[in-house]
Amino acid sequence: MKKMKFDDGDEFSASTRHLVFAYYVTGHGFGHATRVVEVTRHLIAAGHDVHVVTGAPDFVFTSEIQSSKLFIRKVLLDCGAVQTDALTVDRLASLEKYSQTAVAPRASILATEVDWLNSIKADLVISDVVPVACRAAADAGIRSVCVTNFSWDFIYAEYVMAAGYHHRSIVWQIAEDYSHCEFLIRLPGYCPMPAFRDVFDVPLVVRRLHKPRNEVRREFGIGEDVKLVIFNFGGQPAGWNLKKEFLPDGWLCLVCGANEDQELPPNFIRLAKDAYTPDVMAASDCMLGKIGYGTVSEALAYKLPFVFVRRDYFNEEPFLRNMLEYYQGGVEMIRRDLLTGHWAPYLQRAVSLKPCYEGGINGGEVAARIIQDTAVGKNYASDKFSGARRLRDAIVLGYQLQRAPGRDADIPEWYSMAETEFGYHNSLPNTETNGQSTYAKSSVKEFDILHGDLHGLSDTISFLKSLAKLANEYDSEKNSEKRKMRERIAAAGLFNWEDEIFVTRAPGRLDVMGGIADYSGSLVLQLPIREACHVAVQRTNPSRQKLWKHAQARQIAEGQRPTPVLQIVSYGSELSNRGPTFDMDLTDLMDGEKPMSYEKARKYFAQDPSQKWAAYVAGTLLVLMTELGVRFDDGISMLVSSAVPEGKGVSSSAAVEVASMSAIAAAFGLNITPRDLALLCQKVENHIVGAPCGVMDQMTSACGEANKLLAMVCQPAEIIGLVNIPTHIRFWGIDSGIRHSVGGADYGSVRVGTFMGRKMVKSIASSLTSENTLQQDGMNSDELEEGGVELLKAEASLDYLCNLPPHRFEAVYAKRIPKSILGEKFLKQYAHHDDSVTVIDKKHNYAMRASARHPIYENARVKACKALLTADASSEQLSAIGELMYQCHYSYSACGLGSDGTDRLVKLVQEMQHKKLSQSENGTLFGAKITGGGSGGTVCVVGRNCVRSSQQILEIQQIYKAATGFSPFIFEGSSPGAGKFGHLRIRYCPQN
């Protein structure tokens, strides 16, 4: 071996054997190509040949490597994520493009690559991170490794969820390709990547600097006293309208990727297309751009503050963002402020940061050493992923949701093996104890409670204590503490702590029976759960409102006198990759003299996906303005803290809406009944968020009571009473780990199919009332049962599908309604489906019969369940309730709203129910069903209220964890709805 010395002084032993490497580079962005350059540079310096397979321009490689050992082959074998602009990813277009690029020509690609790899006599294939390259290497009998911080199965899994059933096989095919890889060389800021069994972690891969800072500035004629920002959006900002006033006075901006014919203001400088970005970055005072591996790694390496704007639907981003912010290197800019030029407060904040990354930046050298040693047969001790770890990551990605055996690509061997693998690490977090903890004293000494009651709720007491902690933290020196979460910093500066604050609370709900039949008018039975959302609100005269710096700058730039501003902080933003803050001038909710339309509001909130969550909160104001004529002249500051897990099917969105509107109503003295408030909140979700939900979620959150089932007929929302849960019966919720979305394609298509079914029932009934139609059907009016014609006439004007009894559906309509129908065909025959919150897709084939049958039978099941709950206690009572729940579950599946995870949980309940021990104990668990909108989420379980039942629930949790790697959250316990809770009016009184 001979020692190779690098510019940074590090050395590694080069192999005496001349090696040939084939290095495949993904077609997504320059960031991958630039880090490939760094690894390739070290391999070539060690005397090896590197064939780079890429679609990137040659200069990306040749400007850094001038060597006869570098070979560039221009081939694109994957497409990455399709972006319509620098910040917008088109998920469906990405899947379609990948299908065109890598799926349709797959056989040809594999044949070509195998021949080529053999022709160059490659010793090892390296992929960053092209899936098919790993499979081609395996077919050619050549080992392969991947070098990356994310994989395309991770990115595309979320896209497939959004696309419904389309392109399901893509995720599995990519995972199967990666599974042929020898191991993963994993870069910092990495995402879950379950397709890889073995992993080596290396430092940041960062390009070296060619010139010192002062030399670069001298070449641009920029003195050290001038503040310099580099505008770097990955070569895609061409055409953006940049203006002189975007920059603070005296600042200059270097623009990457600007077209030569694009006119720039005098304080913006166009960089050459082939400018060496690392040198320019190191010469700047901060960077403005989007997050990607290249920009983040080099910003950290050069301690360059990074003002970033979130990119929608690219799942790599939160992992890199967390790393950037951990080392105090990031400032998030709201997309709206980027586009309108309110840059100054963000740039000024950035230059005050002191980035503190001190880790290694020689990942290129370390990766090259591992690659070389692998090619000559040396083995390293890697960190092997257990089956539990890999499956847990797979559930994070949504693999389970995409799994459809028999219809898609084969399940990769690693997944099937991991399902039965034993000896898991005990590193998964334990489920929190679900027992209701109590406080000896239901008070919070830091606040005077001027109005309201804590109701002994421990979560409310905890929320008030967290508010008190924020008030104590509101100190500029404390706020600059290293590595504090940005959402806490924003929240601490949100309120005038000496003024009154209003606090409300609204719980999520467990759908015991009724589910998706609510929008068809069914009776529903809903239980408010223990987990809830708290909202704190303060109204303030605009002249006294404490605004965030960018909001202040916006008003100053527009020459406004103080105007009311809505400012919202949402806790838990990092768990769902959303922006933690949102603000807008309240005048923006007006369109002239009237409130803006719901349609316009939906587009307004949807323009920035990272802040789309604000529609649930800010939308409550617009609904109050539109429906009740309320006008908001004071500024509004809101803190939203929800313990209702998102995507679990327990109405996290309804809890946020109800708590938010309740808080606004309390702060502004609006007297709204809980029922009316729930109906108003449904308008937020239907018309502003754009999710076609029924009203049961909001009604339960607003009107429910602890340990009672809310019984409501959804026509539209008539509460018929509260049903006491007998002391011997208990309900639990078990989370499947599969994300549910009421706005998802499957839920929406089932709702459309249901309304289509109602339309067809009415049409059939109308047709059958005529003598001619009766005769054609072999019937005559004399043979009809007494009142039969009148019954048909009533059904011809059916207002809610649930008002049709099951026996009438089976006798008259079931055979006349087709199993499925194309949207275009339905529209041609019926014109519309009479649902104001959904739209028929002409090209979609709707499952109409099952969608129509479900609410008709579900209404009957719920009525029976309600009657059983008031019957005498017996095992037959529990068995009958459980059977109704099972029937409901399988009816969901018939509609297409089932999922592997929820099916598995229901099956586990059945197995537990039918164990000999359970039967000898007269039964403990009796039934289970998928809840809410389906397609994942939570399963509701009914059982005997005894210790053995709780033990069996925990057994199911452990069995599910062993099979899937995911430890389900268990929902148990109940709490009052927002109406019962009322509101708190509090004032902070600091303790000496």
- Residue positions annotated with a catalytic role: 697
Asked whether 197 and 412 are in contact (CB, 8 A), the reply is no
DSSP assignment, residue 883? H
507: number of CA atoms within 13 Å, CB side?
Answer: 28
Describe the crossing of helices 696-703 and 652-667 by its angle, rounded to 10 degrees: 50
**Shortest CA distance to 660 belongs to which of 623, 633, 715?**
623
For the record, the structure tokens of 604 come out as 């307004």
Look up residue 686 and give its two tokens: 């239907």
DSSP alpha helices (H): ranges in 13-151? 29-45, 59-62, 91-98, 106-119, 131-139
DSSP summary character for residue 207: P
**What contacts 295, CB < 8 A, 6 or more positions away?**
31, 232, 234, 287, 289, 306
In angstroms, the CA 763 to CA 829 distance is 10
Amino acid at 741: S
Q: List the one residue out of 744, 654, 693, 649 whose CA is nearest residue 158.
A: 744
638 strand-pairing partners: 537, 568
DSSP string, 490-518: HHHTTS-TTS-EEEEEEEEEEEEE-GGGG
Helices (H), 85-237: 91-98, 106-119, 131-139, 152-163, 168-178, 213-220
Beta carbons of 975 and 528 less than 8 angstroms apart? yes
- 873: Cα separation from own chain's centroid: 43
Contact at 8 Å (CB) between 659 and 589?
Answer: no
Distances (CA, A) of 662 to 344, 668, 684, 780, 974: 36, 10, 13, 57, 20
- Which of helix, strand or coil describes residue 713? strand
CB 471 within 8 A of CB 446: yes
CA distance 177 to 169: 12
Pairing of strands 144-148, 183-186: parallel
C-alpha distances out from residue 721 to 436, 525, 711, 931, Å: 26, 10, 5, 21
Could you tell me the two tokens for 792? Answer: 């048909």
What is residue 205's DSSP assignment? B
DSSP string, 412-428: PHHHHHHHT-----S-S
What is the torsion angle, in degrees rounded to the nearest 10, for the CA atoms of residue 639, residue 642, residue 648 and residue 653?
A: -40
Q: What angle do CA 327, 331, 333 make, to 5 degrees?
A: 155
Q: Is the dihedral of CA 216, 232, 575, 461 positive or negative?
A: positive
Backbone angles phi, psi at 77, to 5 degrees: -110, -5
Residue 956: CB partners within 8 Å, gap ≥ 6?
Answer: 734, 905, 908, 909, 912
Could you tell me which residues are beta bridge partners of residue 529?
974
Which helix (H) or strand (E) is 349 found in, with range?
helix 344-350
Strand 228-232 with 252-255, pairing: parallel
The three-state secondary structure class of 591 is strand
